[in-house]
């Protein structure tokens, strides 16, 4: 067999159409399992360029550096942090040091505010002193899903590693 015949036989072998075989698989019931919903709340990052530069109250504090509480409240409320901040700034919901006046904020959002040192077993805002003494407090959203939180520092859902010192509850008023 010469080289040309050999190559032709190889080409025929690899490229020759083979008869199609149809294989029937046994029918099986297909179950569609919906994905587990970890969070039905929006996830925001306090340093988002859309609102990170905005100032809190009549201070020089910015959302990017000091807006974890407002960003967490925005996640619970379902509005953008910039909208919440604008409302709070217009209605003087901050003291002179830029600290949120919880009862005023709750009323503006149509919510009822409460504070707890124990887990309320519901979605709420948590306070930690994890970064103390360099930064006295940080806030994030407790998802009440075993140990899941949404952290406005990085805008991610993750397992909680912070020591929780208080729970800030903003319940909707029925």
Q: What is the pLDDT of residue 35?
A: 43
| pLDDT tens-digit map of 110-131 | 999 999 999 999 999 999 998 7
Asked if 44 contacts 75 with a C-beta cutoff of 8 angstroms, the reply is yes
Reported as a pLDDT band with limits 50, 70 and 90, residue 7 is: low
The first and second tokens of residue 27, run together, are 């029918």
User: Cα dihedral sign for 72, 75, 81, 86?
Assistant: negative
DSSP element (H, E) containing 13: helix 3-15
**Average pLDDT score over residue span 64-81:** 97
Closest by alpha carbon to 43, among 64, 70, 74? 74
The band of 134, judged by pLDDT with boundaries at 50, 70 and 90, is confident
pLDDT given at position 36 = 46
pLDDT of the residue at 101: 98
Q: Is 115 helix (H, G, I), strand (E, B) or coil?
A: strand
pLDDT digits (tens, 9 = 90+) for 21-55: 555 656 655 444 444 445 578 999 999 999 999 99
pLDDT score for 94: 97
Mean pLDDT (whole number) for 132-161:
89
Q: Which domains does the chain have, with CATH numbers?
A: 45-172 (3.90.70)
Provide the pLDDT for residue 50: 97
3-state secondary structure string, 52-93?
Answer: CCCECCCCCCEHHHHCHHHHHHHHHHCCCHHHHHHHHHHCCC
Predicted pLDDT at 145: 77
Angle at 164 between CA 47 and CA 53, to 5 degrees: 15
Predicted local distance difference test score (pLDDT) of residue 33:
43
State the average pLDDT over residues 49-72: 97
């Amino acid at each position: 067999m010469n080289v040309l015949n050999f190559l032709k036989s190889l080409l025929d072998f690899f490229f020759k159409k083979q008869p199609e075989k149809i294989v029937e698989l046994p029918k099986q019931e297909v179950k569609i399992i919906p994905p587990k919903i970890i969070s039905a709340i929006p996830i925001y990052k306090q340093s988002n360029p859309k609102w990170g530069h905005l100032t809190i109250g009549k201070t020089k504090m910015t959302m990017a550096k000091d807006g974890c509480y407002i960003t967490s409240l925005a996640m619970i409320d379902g509005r953008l942090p910039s909208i919440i901040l604008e409302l709070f700034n217009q209605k003087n919901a901050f003291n002179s040091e830029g600290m949120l006046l919880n009862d005023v904020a709750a009323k503006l959002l149509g919510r009822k505010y409460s504070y707890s040192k124990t887990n309320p077993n519901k979605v709420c805002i948590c306070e930690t002193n994890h970064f103390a003494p360099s930064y006295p407090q940080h806030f994030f959203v407790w998802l009440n899903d075993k140990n899941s939180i949404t952290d406005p520092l990085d805008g991610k859902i993750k397992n909680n590693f912070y020591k929780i010192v208080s729970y800030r509850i903003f319940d909707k008023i029925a």
